[in-house]
């Protein structure tokens, strides 16, 4: 890297590359359009508010995560032109392309970084054009433009009060674009605190003015009017998606304001939603504090899911050579940011006297801010990883290099340092690829087998007792206590279907959860993993059986739009001199629910009776497939309502054909957020 006292190269190369990239990007996004910022969650539209009094009332009551300054621009646009094109069309296109142009500018004066940045920017722009139309939130493009603009202007801020004012304005607007940026402010402000020139009143006051007035003013109003620290009342629900193993706390009933139009979403812009979001946040933070090791492992999983190159968004599956290349490449700069942040942190700890110079470097701050954003986004939201990465791509394309050694070294050490850097880069690439390969979820595919033999004597003639339990939702801080608690609910059951079973993980001496429960209850286990991850059977379904199993087979369920983590376990057991067929499954709760449910029902109806379909079907009685199934003669169903983010609903089902139901009941194990559902059956004559 060129030192401060060395001549810098002319900017012509950067100007030419930026101009070509801008032209390519504007051509690529020539017909692109985003969703209106006011239309977030499809509760409001600009045309809902007639007159400035109604608009002021909108801002007065605004609790949800609609960026206030973007909403103001849309209202002004609609008032002046009668349309709403400035923000979702023109600003969106300019921001999506402009952020990558700024990424190139941030590589100056390093030709090596420019050579890396140009192909990355081209690839990421092309990939974003294919991925983002499935969920085109305008703030995904605007936020990185503001953030990279902040770092670029920060370079000039020490020499100009106007530049300091611009830097403060960009930072304030960035904070008012995404609620989580409040958590980043300490890092983003380090460059100011560490730079003596910026601490002078002639620079500091212009910098702080827009930050205090705009960002601080909006936060002060939100806290006074609505009791919100963040300018969003939905953060707890976002967290709940990222931490689904945490049991839903008691929530207060929410008022439901009238819809603005029949086709709109129900509004959660209510004070009760603020309280419920706070309760969810407290429950999840309490879980993390109570289970630090399990939470750390889950955090690693979430980060790996974010940086692994997911491209499926809202069920849309883009496919092209660009997407294939993107999935291979994107994880490297993402993990480079994490490694760079670790390097900077270690350097500050080892050489605290250099902390000021390290933190005053805009490249180091960009690395820290990007790595922190990766961590925050991964741990506070789930389900839209492909979209989350869109806002990170421009920073990744800037390929900042950590600068931690500001001392001069003798020239004779230059060659050794270069060799060491090459070796470290090779090792980093190998390590990143190993990490990426381990993080990828892979389907376990088809398998079949026979056995096991009966392990328990049955004393109830031809009656059969079946149970169903989701165990991964159970928190197992104390393994022995959890196994004992679940075992008490399993007493007297002949066959138990288990969903959400954790496998035996790499570097762990513990067997899978099904084997633990089988050993404790004197039964045999058939573990049917749905996916392999980190070179081990990661997650799946299982049967615990005390009766003989003559044969079983495992079949993956199709998952064209979701990760491959669902399958069916079909087994034939012998009881009372008759063969009984069981189909155990766990159906996706999202985009592939209908496809997987239809296939499971079809296979169940093809099984010779008596037959049982059991598992977490994630569906209600009024779903068309369930209505048709339950209307069939001889079909009986058992279920129980469980809490969910949208209220109590049936999730776990035991459905039978060719049986006479005798009784059904539930049992609370105390270690799972699902109840154990059990039924007593007798095969029909």
CB 231 within 8 A of CB 371: no
Q: Rounded mean pLDDT of 571-589?
A: 88
State pLDDT tens for residues 511-544.
Answer: 888 888 888 888 899 999 998 888 888 889 999 9
CB 128 within 8 A of CB 323: no
Phi, psi for residue 178 in degrees, rounded to 5: -130, 130
For residue 421, pLDDT over 50 is answered with yes
CA 266, 269, 274 angle in degrees (round to 5)? 120
322-331, 414-423, 657-666: segment of lowest average pLDDT: 414-423
51-55, 576-580, 626-630: segment of lowest average pLDDT: 576-580
Measured over the CA atoms of residue 113, residue 116, residue 122 and residue 127, the dihedral's sign is: negative
For the ranges 557-561, 572-576, 599-603, the maximum mean pLDDT occurs at: 599-603
Structure tokens given for 190: 């380090």
pLDDT band per the 50, 70, 90 thresholds, residue 671: confident
Q: Pick the residue with more confidence: 373 or 410? A: 373
| Domains detected in the chain | 12-404 (no CATH), 442-683 (3.60.10.10)
Find the DSSP H helices in 257-384.
Answer: 271-290, 292-307, 321-329, 331-350, 355-360, 362-380
> Residue 458: what pLDDT?
63
Verify cis geometry, omega within 30 degrees of 0, for the bond prior to 368: no
Distance separating alpha carbons of residues 97 and 115, to the nearest angstrom: 18
Q: Pick the residue with more confidence: 177 or 401? A: 177
pLDDT band per the 50, 70, 90 thresholds, residue 3: very low
Q: Rounded mean pLDDT of 223-227?
A: 94
Minimal CA–CA distance to 668: which of 401, 485, 400? 485
């Amino acid at each position: 890297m060129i030192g401060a006292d060395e001549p810098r190269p002319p900017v012509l190369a950067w100007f030419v590359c930026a101009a070509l990239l801008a032209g390519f990007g504007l051509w690529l996004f020539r017909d692109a359009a985003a969703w209106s910022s006011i239309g977030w969650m499809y509760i409001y539209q600009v045309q809902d508010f007639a007159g400035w009094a109604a608009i002021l009332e909108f801002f007065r009551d605004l609790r949800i995560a609609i960026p206030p300054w973007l909403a103001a621009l849309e209202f002004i646009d609609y008032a002046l032109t009668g349309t709403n094109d400035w923000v979702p069309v023109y600003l969106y296109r300019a921001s999506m392309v402009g952020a990558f142009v700024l990424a190139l500018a941030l590589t100056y004066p390093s030709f090596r970084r420019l050579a890396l940045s140009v192909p990355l920017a081209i690839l990421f722009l092309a990939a974003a054009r294919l991925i983002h139309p499935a969920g085109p939130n305008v703030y995904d493009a605007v936020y990185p433009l503001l953030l990279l603009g902040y770092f670029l202007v920060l370079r000039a801020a020490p020499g100009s009060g106007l530049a300091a004012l611009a830097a403060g304005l960009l930072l304030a607007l960035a904070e008012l674009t995404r609620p989580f940026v409040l958590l980043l402010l300490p890092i983003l402000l380090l460059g100011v605190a560490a730079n003596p020139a910026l601490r002078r009143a002639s620079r500091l006051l212009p910098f702080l003015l827009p930050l205090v007035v705009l960002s601080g003013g909006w936060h002060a109003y939100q806290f006074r009017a609505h009791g919100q620290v963040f300018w969003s009342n939905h953060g707890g629900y976002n967290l709940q998606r990222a931490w689904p193993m945490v049991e839903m706390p008691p929530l207060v009933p929410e008022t439901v304001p009238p819809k603005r139009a029949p086709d709109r979403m129900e509004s959660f812009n209510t004070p009760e939603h603020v309280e419920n979001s706070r309760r969810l946040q407290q429950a999840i933070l309490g879980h993390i504090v109570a289970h630090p090791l399990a939470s750390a492992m889950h955090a690693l999983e979430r980060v790996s899911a974010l940086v692994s190159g997911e491209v499926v968004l809202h069920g849309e599956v883009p496919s092209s050579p660009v997407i294939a290349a993107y999935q291979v490449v994107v994880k490297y700069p993402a993990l480079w940011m994490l490694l760079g942040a670790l390097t900077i942190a270690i350097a500050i700890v080892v050489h605290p006297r250099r902390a000021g110079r390290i933190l005053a470097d805009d490249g180091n701050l960009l690395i820290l801010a990007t790595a922190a954003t990766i961590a925050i986004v991964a741990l506070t939201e789930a389900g839209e990883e492909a979209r989350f990465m869109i806002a990170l791509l421009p920073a990744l394309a800037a390929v900042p290099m950590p600068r931690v050694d500001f001392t001069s070294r003798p020239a004779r050490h230059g060659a050794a340092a270069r060799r060491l850097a090459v070796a470290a880069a090779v090792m980093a690439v190998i390590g990143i690829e190993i990490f990426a390969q381990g993080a990828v979820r892979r389907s376990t595919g088809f398998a079949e087998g026979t056995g096991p033999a009966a392990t328990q004597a049955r004393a109830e003639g031809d009656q059969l007792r079946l149970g169903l339990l989701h165990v991964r939702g159970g928190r197992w801080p104390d393994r022995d206590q959890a196994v004992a608690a679940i075992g008490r609910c399993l007493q007297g059951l002949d066959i138990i279907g288990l969903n959400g079973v954790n496998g035996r993980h790499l570097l762990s001496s513990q067997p899978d959860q099904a084997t633990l429960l089988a050993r404790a209850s004197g039964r045999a286990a058939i573990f049917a993993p749905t996916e392999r991850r980190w070179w081990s059977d990661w997650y799946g379904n299982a049967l615990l059986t005390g009766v003989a199993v003559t044969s079983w087979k495992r079949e993956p369920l199709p998952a064209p739009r979701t990760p491959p983590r669902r399958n069916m376990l079909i087994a034939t057991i012998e009881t009372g001199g008759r063969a009984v067929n069981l189909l155990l499954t766990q159906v996706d709760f999202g985009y592939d629910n209908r496809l997987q449910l239809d296939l499971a029902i079809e296979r169940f109806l093809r099984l010779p009776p008596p037959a049982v379909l059991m598992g977490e079907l994630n569906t209600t009685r009024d779903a068309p497939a369930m209505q048709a199934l339950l209307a069939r003669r001889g079909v009986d169903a058992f279920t129980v309502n469980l809490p969910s983010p949208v209220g109590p609903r049936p999730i776990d089902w035991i459905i039978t054909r060719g049986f006479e139901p005798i009784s059904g009941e539930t049992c609370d194990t105390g270690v799972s957020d699902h109840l154990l559902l059990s039924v007593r059956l007798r095969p029909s004559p």
